[in-house]
Amino acid sequence: MPAETHVEGVPIGRDEVLELIRDRLADILEIEPSKIGEGDSFADDLDADSLALIELVEALEEELSERSAGFRIEDDDLEDLKTVRDAVDYVVSRLG
């Protein structure tokens, strides 16, 4: 039986958040995670439409709610998340 990897209360680092966002975004956009740079714009560099971003938000909320009870990305904050770095910084700040 595999070890539990998602334990509430275990801090998650910035690198881990970046990796998580890359992996989820790569699945949604059907590209290799290595093709996603931290400075990439969702719209301009990755051609991610609003539906892809909603899928990313849902995936992150599902994954991170196991780590931080009730983790949510507010709808009003979505318009400020233009790049992968914006998303990483936002998630790290929300996880505290």
Which of 27, 49, 77, 80 is the catalytic position?
Answer: 49
The two tokens of residue 70 are 């009730």
Other C-beta atoms closer than 10 Å to the C-beta of 3 total 5
Other C-beta atoms closer than 10 Å to the C-beta of 47 total 11
| 44 carries an active-site annotation | no
Q: Is 30 left (phi over 0), alpha (psi -120 to 50) or beta?
A: left
Which residues are identified as catalytic?
Answer: 49
